[in-house]
Structure 1
Amino acid sequence: MTVTFSSLLAQTVLCWKSFQALSSLDAIQLLLSVPSAESIRESSAFYTSNPHFAGQGWDQAKWTQEKWKNFGVHDTQVISYNTELPAPTDQQRLALIRDSEVLYEAPLTDSVGGFFPAFYSFVTNANITAPYIFANFGSDEDYDDLVENGVDLVGNIAVLKSADASSYLKTLGLGKSREVQIRNAQERGLAGVIMYPDPQNDNPITESNGYAPYPDGPARPAKMIERGGIGPLDSYKSGLTPKIPCIPISYADAIPILSALNGYGPLASDLGSRWHGGELAIHDVHYNVGPSPPGLILNLKTEAYLHPGQVHNVVGKIPGFLSDEVVILGNHRDAWGPGAGDPNSGSAALNEVVRSFGAAVRRGWKPYRTIIFASWDGEEIGQLGSFSWIQEHFKWLNVTVVAYLNVVVAGAGRNFHVKASPLLYKTALNAMTYVQSPNQTVVGQSVLDVWNNTGTGAIGTAGGGDAIRFQGLLCASTVDFGFSQGLEDSVFPYHSGLDDFNWMTKYGDPNWEYHLTSVRLWLAMAAHLSESLILDMHATDYAEALGKWINDLFKDQKGSEFCDPKALHDAVSRFAQVAQRFDRSAASLEVQRQGCSPHLRRAIDETNQAYIQLERAFYHESGLDSRPSFHHVLFEAAPWHTEKPALPGLRRSLESGNWTNAENWRDIIVSKVLKAANLLEGLDR
């Protein structure tokens, strides 16, 4: 293991930083005392004031740069990258037609002021006219039910309920990404897809339960449209995105289309419990599945093209005593609409994090490790900004990045969510001991009770926003966290033109207290990682997580008769034994930290480098089957609001019965786990 001159010099000069004008403890206390609701509110008002889809953010990038410099982070740059950006034309169309008469034409917009109309990025362009069916959430089970009830699928357009970003649907096990919904339709021979957000997603905050729609109340606005991506640019260019046209609409647009099916085909309520729960009955929708009768058709036209453009990242740096160990904090600015919740609650929080660190720097503090702040552009269309920056600096980042800490949604509800690499479980949990939850109402509650029972078992698999690229390209340890809609909260107008400043001030986070809490958690995590002499990472947490994932995957002996998991269990057992010894060794160095001997300094440096490189052991050059650019074998690209189980290559092979591929992925994972064990064992003392 190479020990750099800069790290040895830094640790020699430090003698644990006793000469600093501001101690580490004082710095953390100062960091947590700086954030203010008014400052966050100012940033939110600016970011939501005009369109800033990918490539539209130059003015916001320059404003952010100037803010950060004024806060005291003088090494801040706007870094732009040439790319291709999707944009819809004004020729898109969705019309309900009977015998050549247009009964209804969807406006395909829910906002004013230059924001994009309804579209999915990297959509297939087409102009089709066809009969249609209602297919619930478009799952395999839904299509099986339709076929069993005599409903022909091939050549029809499917009208589907969206299943993304709904906390209620997650509790029912019905959550599903839009890309999967569209791909399922394509595989079943459907000609196109129309997706609308049924108020069922929002139970109990619905009109049928007496709640008025926004802006008069907390329920879903009838004209709200959930835009989104159906894959990144690299997948689109590789031909891996769905090939049938699709478009998002509001439930106001869905009402005339679904009510025109009344009386045609089976009722959804007769097809099983999974089909129950639609909330448009109060608008005279019976939820018949169709198909539409002769003469009743839909004309669906999608038209969006790639255009040359640029994405504009803002990157700031506070140099540390160590230049070869780096902690990165990031959020993306680009949004489908005003973006008050997603992502600019995170953007406003990041500004406040930068302001807090700037205040500490002005007081004479210098971090032990270098800290980088990043405001990314282009996340909503496949993390183009972070992808380009990581590619440019890959060699340096690969050996220096300790962790990437991401926030997409800092405050859009009261439900705390956190997704992390197992190496950062303790980082997330320790931050909660520094920061009081806004939900704390009972004196003496334990930390885990206050934070939604967030023990390590409740932390989701890593992913979220630009953390996807740090995982997929670098295999860096990441965490994404924040506050989003809970079951009793106002409906979050996700990816719509109504996720605006007014909604945030009225319903999302009126007192900005959840934004503030996210800021303080972010500060605590960053300070913990940047200031710990020995990184507070635990290889045993990784071993325990791996064991749990494998046990869950093969529970009830599922698939084990075709793909023997013994080699996996053996590899994890060896890794666990090595990890325990290594963590004990790291803890013993912490006890000895008051000395400044060359041997101790070298041992500390080697230990930290091993923790940094441990995640890299899971890098697989060929990537995942469905996404070759994602190289981490344990995770996959998952947005902040979606939980995707670990071990994706092996899991999907087992689920599809592809035993040869399952054995291949089993062997790949075994080799990576043993590589991780060898990495630690080579340094085991």
Structure 2
Amino acid sequence: MTGDRYITVIYLMEIVKEDPHAKEILHVPPGQKQTITTTTSEAPESNTKDMTDVSQKYEIVLEDKWQKEIEMANEMIHRFNRDNMRENLRYLSEKPHMAATPRDNELAEHVKGKFEEAGFDSVELVPYNLYLSKPDPNNPNKITLQMNGENLFISNHRELEIHEGDGDPDFVDAFNAFTPAGTVSTEPGVGVVYVNYGRREDFEKLEELGINITGHIALVRYGKIYRGNKIRNAEQFGANGIIIFSDPEDVAADGIASENVYDHTWWLPGTGMQRGSTYLGDGDPLTPGWPSTEHAYRISEEESDLHKIPCQPIGYSDAIQILERLDGPIAPEDWQGGYPGFTYKLGPFFNSQNGSVSLTLSTHNSGKIERSFNVIGIIKGSIEPDRYVLIGNHRDAWGYGAADPSSGTAQLLETVRVYGTFLKEGWRPRRTIIFCSWGAEEFGLIGSTEWVEENINKLQSRAVAYINTDTCTSGPELHIRASPLMHDLFTNVTKMIPGVKDSSKTVYDEWKEYNIRFKPSAPEHPIIKALGSGSDYAPFNVYGGIPAADIWFRRDEVKYNITMYPFYHTGYETFYMVSNFIDPEFKIHEGCGRVASLAIKYLADSSIIPYIMMRGRRGEEYIHKYNHDLNCSYEQ
């Protein structure tokens, strides 16, 4: 044919090398012959012969394997077992498992055993000696209100047991990691300033209103920005301490009565306290840029970028004890919280009834070197064993961690089991697949960062992609963050998987319908956000430059205008909570596992890595959106 030529291709990169004049790659539906059509009227005559040679060279390996691929994908989807995922989650979340505790180490061994049962080619525990910050178990952090030497109020240091089994004695007291030990007290009748969400613009608003926070304690609510940034802002504006509370507007939107909160609904009771790291970097604070191996050089605590003022998280039932004593100007309308029938004021003065009251913030956190383990399991590739597709989830939690991270670990273990069944039937991926269970993520992505730092040269030259499933399930709506190269991968994979709300639809259908509700002007495909820095994908993507993605089924943001699911990082993030109010049938866990498993299947097994370069307006939109999203990554 004079102007056109038809060449069947198995490896696109070879064709691109041979024919720089190729203009367009046509999408080929499953089951049809894969062809590329190019116009060659402007191409040199010799190119036709070159392309014919390429066609002949690959004639033997051009077999159409679409049908076999589809059959395996369908089989993989149907091998997921929701009962297994339920049992995985029950076991993983039955006890607190903060990093480097005996229970965390026990779970590392459990995960290692599951990898071995699946028949992986190699499984190992990879230890790191990490600098971790924890409270004194014998001297809890507290906030005290006193008048004339008499205690009027002492804050809770742990959640009250509401549902049977919530009160494990090993549960860590409320604290914010990597904040110092210290005691600060106000003068009688003055010394606390309410600063909304503790954003920079909130502190600047106080200055506009003529309120000086220097030497006072900042009282801020959780949400909008990372807790570490709240503390850094407070330091920069001169505060000598900070208290962070969960406001009913964000965690108890249906009301604070007992019938409106846990254990009757998913909303947070007044004693729920959000723990969390405040470190502004990633990895071990004392080994920035290199791995925390046994004999690693460590900088001093003074050299590290850790906070200088004490900080303590509290629940809203404790926060009201402070808020109701504040006087001063009424807070702006958009600073008013959700405590019913109450008007928030700014301070710094206490009201006339509390003119002799002083507040003392006392914390007893300290840091030390502790050993934490990553679990690494490898399925060796049959054709490209030196190309790595990685999937990971962190194992440690601030408490029971039934959503963060154990919903992700429950999914990971079932994905491991499913892959093991294929291995036992003789299947082997084209590229190597590496399964990762990270330690000490909650303290600042430490386990994953140290491993990436130790293996950076291999990863940068060999890694194809990293898939992250941190909090796999905290609601029914799919949210994906991903490198642009992987957008089409998730669009295509989700079209193959039954919906988690309606199995007559696909996950893609439900994802798209939600996006239309969330953003009516949304583009043709569902929104895939830019990667931030809030989970274990960050060291791969930001430090390693490796394409990455994060899969998370989360709350309906149209229905719930809140920053995070209400029980996040509290003592009420339990198996009872998740199995009763989030995913009773474990269809969402199953959906998360299916999306993750098919994504790594196609990344590891496709002859052509399923990357699509962003083109035209979609690429331009992504760049603008990426610049915005870099400042809006979700909390750790």
- State the 1:55 CA deviation: 1.1
**Is 1:292 the counterpart of 2:349 in the alignment?**
yes
Correspondence for 1:401 among 463, 469, 474: 463
**Is 1:537 the counterpart of 2:611 in the alignment?**
yes
1:301 counterpart SS class: strand
**In the alignment, which residue of structure 1 is the partner of 2:363?**
302
Correspondence for 1:466 among 521, 532, 536: 536
**Is 1:515 the counterpart of 2:589 in the alignment?**
yes
**In the alignment, which residue of structure 2 is the partner of 1:135?**
195
CA separation of 1:498/1:306 partners in 2, compared to 1, >3 Å: closer, same or farther?
same
**In the alignment, which residue of structure 1 is the partner of 2:270?**
222
- State the 1:303 CA deviation: 2.0
**In the alignment, which residue of structure 2 is the partner of 1:580?**
none
CA separation of 1:640/1:520 partners in 2, compared to 1, >3 Å: closer, same or farther?
farther
**Is 1:117 the counterpart of 2:191 in the alignment?**
no
- State the 1:492 CA deviation: 3.5
CA contact (8 A) 1:330 1:375 kept: yes
| Amino acid in structure 2 at the alignment position of 1:431 | V
Following superposition of structure 1 onto structure 2, how do residues 449-528 of structure 1 map, counting pairs within 5 Å?
449-450=512-513, 452-453=515-516, 458-463=527-532, 464-487=534-557, 488=559, 492-528=566-602
CA contact (8 A) 1:159 1:194 kept: yes
CA contact (8 A) 2:156 2:271 kept: no
- State the 1:422 CA deviation: 0.6
| Amino acid in structure 1 at the alignment position of 2:119 | G
> 2:173 & 2:131 partners in 1: Cα distance?
19
**In the alignment, which residue of structure 1 is the partner of 2:4?**
none
- Structure number with greater Rg is 2
**Is 1:279 the counterpart of 2:338 in the alignment?**
yes
> 2:334 & 2:60 partners in 1: Cα distance?
62
- State the 1:35 CA deviation: 0.9
CA contact (8 A) 1:195 1:249 kept: yes
Structure 2 gap ranges (5+): 1-12, 14-56, 160-166, 287-300, 517-521
> 2:503 & 2:81 partners in 1: Cα distance?
22
**Is 1:365 the counterpart of 2:427 in the alignment?**
yes
Post-superposition Cα deviations, 1:4-59, rounded to whole Å, max 9, x if no partner, equal xxxxxxx9999479999x94333222211111111001111111122211112111
> 1:206 & 1:522 partners in 2: Cα distance?
36
- State the 1:211 CA deviation: 5.7
CA contact (8 A) 2:178 2:307 kept: no
CA contact (8 A) 1:320 1:366 kept: yes
1:395 counterpart SS class: helix
| Amino acid in structure 2 at the alignment position of 1:243 | K
> 2:148 & 2:212 partners in 1: Cα distance?
21
> 1:246 & 1:550 partners in 2: Cα distance?
37
- State the 1:152 CA deviation: 2.7
Q: Which has the higher helix share?
A: 1
TM-score norm. by structure 1 comes to 0.72
- State the 1:244 CA deviation: 1.7
**Is 1:190 the counterpart of 2:257 in the alignment?**
no
> 2:634 & 2:525 partners in 1: Cα distance?
17
1:193 counterpart SS class: strand
> 1:287 & 1:105 partners in 2: Cα distance?
21
> 1:457 & 1:520 partners in 2: Cα distance?
18
Instruction: Tell me the number of residue pairs that the alignment of Structure 1 and Structure 2 aligns.
Output: 532
> 2:130 & 2:348 partners in 1: Cα distance?
42
The CA RMSD over aligned residues, in Å, is: 3.0
**Is 1:319 the counterpart of 2:376 in the alignment?**
no
2:312 counterpart SS class: strand
Following superposition of structure 1 onto structure 2, how do residues 335-350 of structure 1 map, counting pairs within 5 Å?
335-350=397-412
| Amino acid in structure 1 at the alignment position of 2:599 | M
- State the 1:176 CA deviation: 1.6
CA contact (8 A) 1:206 1:220 kept: no
CA separation of 1:143/1:424 partners in 2, compared to 1, >3 Å: closer, same or farther?
same
**Is 1:62 the counterpart of 2:109 in the alignment?**
yes
**In the alignment, which residue of structure 1 is the partner of 2:318?**
253
Structure 1 gap ranges (5+): 4-10, 164-174, 555-633, 643-685
CA contact (8 A) 2:130 2:284 kept: no
**In the alignment, which residue of structure 1 is the partner of 2:620?**
547
**Is 1:52 the counterpart of 2:103 in the alignment?**
no
1:539 counterpart SS class: coil
**In the alignment, which residue of structure 2 is the partner of 1:243?**
308
CA separation of 1:43/1:552 partners in 2, compared to 1, >3 Å: closer, same or farther?
closer
CA separation of 1:417/1:551 partners in 2, compared to 1, >3 Å: closer, same or farther?
closer
**In the alignment, which residue of structure 2 is the partner of 1:35?**
80
Following superposition of structure 1 onto structure 2, how do residues 8-27 of structure 1 map, counting pairs within 5 Å?
15=61, 23-27=68-72
CA separation of 1:99/1:544 partners in 2, compared to 1, >3 Å: closer, same or farther?
farther
CA separation of 1:80/1:550 partners in 2, compared to 1, >3 Å: closer, same or farther?
closer
CA contact (8 A) 1:408 1:640 kept: no
- State the 1:477 CA deviation: 0.5
Greater Cα offset, 94-103 or 514-523: 94-103
| Amino acid in structure 1 at the alignment position of 2:608 | I
- State the 1:136 CA deviation: 1.4
**In the alignment, which residue of structure 1 is the partner of 2:498?**
436
CA separation of 1:14/1:385 partners in 2, compared to 1, >3 Å: closer, same or farther?
farther
1:458 counterpart SS class: coil
CA separation of 1:520/1:380 partners in 2, compared to 1, >3 Å: closer, same or farther?
same
**In the alignment, which residue of structure 1 is the partner of 2:31?**
none
1:281 counterpart SS class: coil
CA contact (8 A) 1:492 1:499 kept: no
> 2:435 & 2:62 partners in 1: Cα distance?
25
Post-superposition Cα deviations, 1:273-315, rounded to whole Å, max 9, x if no partner, equal 3223x12135xx4312211334322211222222221111111
Following superposition of structure 1 onto structure 2, how do residues 542-621 of structure 1 map, counting pairs within 5 Å?
547-548=620-621
CA contact (8 A) 2:495 2:509 kept: no
**In the alignment, which residue of structure 1 is the partner of 2:255?**
206
CA contact (8 A) 2:252 2:566 kept: no
- State the 1:213 CA deviation: 1.1
CA separation of 1:281/1:203 partners in 2, compared to 1, >3 Å: closer, same or farther?
closer
> 2:546 & 2:198 partners in 1: Cα distance?
34
CA separation of 1:437/1:162 partners in 2, compared to 1, >3 Å: closer, same or farther?
same
| Amino acid in structure 2 at the alignment position of 1:408 | D
CA contact (8 A) 1:24 1:531 kept: no
> 1:102 & 1:545 partners in 2: Cα distance?
61
CA separation of 1:274/1:640 partners in 2, compared to 1, >3 Å: closer, same or farther?
closer
Greater Cα offset, 236-245 or 318-327: 236-245
| Amino acid in structure 2 at the alignment position of 1:516 | E
CA contact (8 A) 1:422 1:545 kept: no
**Is 1:267 the counterpart of 2:330 in the alignment?**
yes
1:540 counterpart SS class: coil
Correspondence for 1:104 among 153, 158, 163: 153
Following superposition of structure 1 onto structure 2, how do residues 417-432 of structure 1 map, counting pairs within 5 Å?
417-432=479-494
> 1:267 & 1:635 partners in 2: Cα distance?
33
1:370 counterpart SS class: strand
Post-superposition Cα deviations, 1:320-377, rounded to whole Å, max 9, x if no partner, equal 1211211100000100010000010000000011111111111221111111100110
